[in-house]
Structure 1
């Protein structure tokens, strides 16, 4: 990925403003990918699983970040904003649709929405940890294999201790599948428009501006190998 701190800009405030606004989408998106790559490359199983849990944590925070960005673009009055800000991420996505487009709403029966709700429940388990049941089965080599309950849709362990790289991939696919469904199928936004919403560092993202962001080839290829759909926003490859 390109490093904005190392890029050269003309001596102009339009290119290098004195104040920018970091909304964390870039950080969490990139960290999630880098940690998953590290998980797959780690020789030690415990280290690999630690990286995978870190990747999952980043990925599961993305829906809240994106929902908050969208609410910002509505320019709500402070009292209304305070009420909306208390909603869940799914509630904010639905509010944005209903407010921005006539007769559009989030269908909670659609698979991408159900998968996001399932991830939200896993995120709650992760950040509000309680004891998890582990069932142990003896193996032929005198060792034992532990299992915990799994989710019905994404087939992920409900016990964060047992998350590994495959679970991180499933979560990443599900989050970006939802974003693709939401921006492309429900909002009918073009790729450049979505890119500006997600990566904007302006005080309030302008959803009518179209931009793109640069990523290193190996970064994009990793996402392609995992079958993670980021085709809903515009990128450049370097």
Structure 2
């Protein structure tokens, strides 16, 4: 729980910005036909590194959002310490129980399964362990290994080599879930969400999220009502045209 004079650095805006930034960086590392083998390989390495970073930030912003929600509750430090040990999805459920008991997170929903998987991937990155698979002989000179992929997001089990679309899938999953959680379950308007997830030094910048929606098709309804903004802009443009016609008549 915060006091009115507290300065609060909530981190979520930073994580969200980084997830988008590294997604865009990964998308710009696509090899071209004119590239030689060395340049193609270097671009693939950069694409993979940017993708991993974007995926990690997409997962971390889920945890940050859950912690931002919990921090608004008027609870004791002892209880807060216990809640902090919960899984990310359980933190979301705990908060929802306090503000809208009639709603429950659907664990069987695809977007919920995706973010649960994404948090698990985050844990495997933050707490790295050896990943084992078998070599398969192709011929006397060639062997290959199938590292497999995750069930819902189709991300590689080993993050040795990642592609741009993996970062896109991860960020889409995070934003879909947060829109579902804040808008459908908590039934918040975007300005109410801003107060929860953004810190004292964070700007809301709705035009940025509208741009992300237009470029990638991501659901950003917890950040901005894209349709309402576009309808407002259309009405304003129509008003300007009407005024211009009056002045010219």
Q: Same fold (TM over 0.5)?
A: yes
SS in structure 1 of the partner of residue 205 of structure 2: strand
Q: How does 1:28-39 map to 2 (within 5 A)?
A: 28-39=15-26
- Asked if the contact 1:37/1:222 (under 8 Å) is kept, the reply is no
- Asked if the contact 2:45/2:161 (under 8 Å) is kept, the reply is no
Q: Radius of gyration: which is bigger?
A: 2
Deviation at 1:102, TM superposition (A): 2.6
| Count of aligned residue pairs for this structure pair | 211
Q: How does 1:99-114 map to 2 (within 5 A)?
A: 99-114=98-113
Q: CA distance change for structure 1 residues 143 and 45 in 2, over 3 Å: closer, same or farther?
A: farther
Deviation at 1:40, TM superposition (A): 1.0
Please give the per-residue CA displacement for 1:160-200, whole angstroms capped at 9, x wherever unaligned. 21322111110001111110110111111111211222213
> 2:147 aligns to what?
148
1:225 to 192, 215, 218: 215
Q: CA distance change for structure 1 residues 170 and 145 in 2, over 3 Å: closer, same or farther?
A: farther
Looking at secondary structure, tell me which structure has more helix per residue.
2
SS in structure 2 of the partner of residue 59 of structure 1: helix
List runs of 5+ in structure 2 lacking aligned partners: 32-42, 231-249
Q: Do residues 214 (structure 1) and 205 (structure 2) align?
A: yes
SS in structure 2 of the partner of residue 229 of structure 1: coil
Looking at structure 2, the residues matched to 65 and 134 of structure 1 have their Cα atoms a distance apart, in angstroms, of: 33
Q: CA distance change for structure 1 residues 138 and 201 in 2, over 3 Å: closer, same or farther?
A: farther
Q: Do residues 40 (structure 1) and 45 (structure 2) align?
A: no
SS in structure 2 of the partner of residue 131 of structure 1: coil
Q: CA distance change for structure 1 residues 38 and 220 in 2, over 3 Å: closer, same or farther?
A: farther
TM normalised by structure 2 equals 0.74
Deviation at 1:47, TM superposition (A): 0.9
TM normalised by structure 1 equals 0.78
Q: Do residues 23 (structure 1) and 14 (structure 2) align?
A: no
Q: How does 1:23-172 map to 2 (within 5 A)?
A: 23-42=10-29, 43=31, 44-134=43-133, 146-172=145-171
Deviation at 1:104, TM superposition (A): 2.8
Looking at structure 1, the residues matched to 89 and 144 of structure 2 have their Cα atoms a distance apart, in angstroms, of: 36
